[in-house]
Amino acid sequence: MARHLITSAIPYINGIKHLGNLVGSQLPADLYARYMRARGHEVLFLCATDEHGTPAELAAAKAGKPVAEYCADMHAVQARIADGFGLSFDHFGRSSSPQNHALTQHFAARLAEAGLIREVAEKQVYSHADKRFLPDRYIEGTCPNCGYDKARGDQCENCTKQLDPTDLIDARSAISGSTDLEVRETKHLYLRQSELKGELDAWIDSKRDWPILTTSIAKKWLHDGDGLQDRGITRDLDWGIPVRKGADPWPGMEGKVFYVWFDAPIEYIACAGEWAEATGQDDAAWERWWRTDKGAEDVRYTQFMGKDNVPFHTLSFPATLIGSGEPWKMVDHLKSFNYLNYDGGQFSTSQGRGIFMDQALGLLPADYWRWWLLSNAPESSDSEFTWDSFQNTVNKDLADVLGNFVSRITKFCRSKFGEAVPDGGSYGADEAALIAELTDRVARYSEMMDAMEVRKSARELRAIWACGNEYLQRVAPWSTFKTDPDQAAAQTRLGLNLAHLFGTLSAPFVPSASQRILESMRVEMTSWPDDVEAFLAQLPAGHSFDVPEVLFAKVTDDAREEWKARFSGAAPA
């Protein structure tokens, strides 16, 4: 049994996320966590809400709430929606936790002792209209590199070039739109990550199995232009983790907080501490996952995130861990994803364009969305959600293949043999060929899941389901029954065992449907079917079962058109 630490990028606190956010980190991380648990491995799957920074302050003000209250409320909302999608976090924490406060201040002290933090008198943008310094992300303008007119003051989303606010052309406040901006001098702390460039470069080079998307983004930040730059880790804000050296004050930094992108990744570690506390364990419980001197040397750590988060997780956070000089567990594999677009454009909260997580759950159960998103995951390139594709995938894969097979075999058995696995007959050439094909396919499916090839795994799983329908069509037990009831019994017995197999293999992708299949077969999730032939004999003659309700209803043309119009962002007529 191996030990797997799994984290997904932590979602920001301000609002409910759209389906692109879901498939870019949390959902594939859950797929992998569920699979590893099914294989019998020990898993700690962590996520949290990212709660600091200007967006939280502005969202709280808009909601008319104190920022701490707003964050607590939105954490509860996001946790409830995550549960609705079947995200099997071992803990869903908060970056505002006491554990993250303490750890962030601890890392800052260690980095300062190592000479990796410098104080910089810098000029920052002050908005007279907003009466505040504007953090980088709240200054917009035209990118000097590619000409994109909505580049932010820290990075251009279009070309991913790292920027300073003063680099922007025609800068304006992203809060008010005001161009009445002034550059004022203020003091901040910078992480001297450029001093660690060689170590970071060598570390990334050692990751031979990382996706090209991940390494190419990291290398671009390391080597393009002037190379890896030192990065500010403090801000002039009220809401956040106060700047301190551990428990000691930091002279000159009074009233400042740590930059959200410094403290947010540290929450991955702090979240394990929150988990230990919530489950009544001591520090040793979380340290065995995160400290290589306390047992984490045998942990396999995998991160999942969208491509926009890659630079911070391949450079800034590793620089924090390496620079501390302490034995922290470093990520072993970083699985990154491209973007999911919506029907010819982008998701837009302000325009009501696209479907968001709470809206999706209001339309259909989570498994419908999980299957489409994972089988169309934006791995090698951006992908696009369309209602036509969604309808086609749900109807053909879930309803016509998986749901249809389980319904056909259980209803046929009930009508001819009763609600128990029938006895009699023996397997012949058709059954031997099916078992051989499934043995190969299940092995490939497992290999692809091990490698985190999400779309390929989904295709192989669908092909496994299809094997069942093709077998039933080929042997036609309803016809065999007329001339050879014993042989029909053997075919039906194998079909019911196939339902058990499909329920087990499908659990990482469609956990609710899987549970319903297993419950109808009156079995619990036990072992992974590495030995397919043995697994297909686990339901013996006489074993009782139930005929389940319809697993997946088809999406009608009327529903598709109504949803397409509702979430188009178009103004009502």
**Residues 309 and 194 sit within 8 Å (Cβ to Cβ):** no
> Known binder of ligand: residue 467?
no
Strands 42-49 and 91-94: parallel
* Residue 305, C-beta contacts closer than 8 angstroms, at least 6 positions apart: 8, 9, 24, 25, 313, 334, 335, 336, 337
Residues β-bridged to residue 18: 356
Q: Are 438 and 534 in contact (CB under 8 A)?
A: no
Neighbours of 182 (CB within 10 A): 10
The neighbour count for residue 509, using CB atoms within 10 Å, is 27
According to the annotation, is 71 in a ligand binding site?
Answer: no
The encoded tokens of residue 356 equal: 């968001």
- CA pair distance 17, 393, nearest whole angstrom: 23
DSSP H or E stretch at residue 565: helix 557-566
191: left (phi over 0), alpha (psi -120 to 50) or beta: beta
Q: Could you please report the per-residue DSSP string of 110-137?
A: HHHHTT-EEEEEEEEEEETTTTEEPPGG
DSSP 238-275: SSS-B-EETTEE-TT-TT-EE-HHHHHHHHHHHHHHHH
| Token pair of 535 as six digits | 């697994």
349 marked among binding-site residues: yes
CA end-to-end span of the chain: 59
413 annotated to a ligand binding site: no
Please give the C-alpha separations between residue 529 and each of 181, 445, 447, 488, 511, in angstroms, as whole numbers. Answer: 63, 11, 13, 25, 17
Structural contact between residues 329 and 299, judged by C-beta atoms closer than 8 angstroms: yes
Q: ∠185-263-129 over CA atoms, to 5°?
A: 40
Q: Of 228, 231, 261, 263, which Cα lies nearest the Cα of 108?
A: 263
Any binding-site annotation on 386? no
Cβ-in-10-Å burial (0-12, 13-18, 19+) of 499 comes to buried
Q: Which structure tokens are listed for 315?
A: 């450079």
Q: Output the known binding site for Zn(2+).
A: 143, 146, 156, 159
Give binding residues for ATP as ranges. 349
* Binding site feature residues: 143, 146, 156, 159, 349
